[in-house]
Structure 1
Amino acid sequence: MTVALDTVSAATFADLLGDGFALRGPGGQELAVTLASCRESPHSTMAGSPRTAFSLVFGCPAAAAGPFRGAIAC
Structure 2
Amino acid sequence: MSIALLIVLGIALVAAGVGVTFMIASAVPQSMLQRAQDHGRFAGLAADDQNGGSGKRVAAGQPNLGNRTINAI
With the length of structure 1 as denominator, give the TM-score of the two structures.
0.24
Larger helix proportion, structure 1 or 2? 2
Bigger radius of gyration, 1 or 2? 2
Larger strand proportion, structure 1 or 2? 1
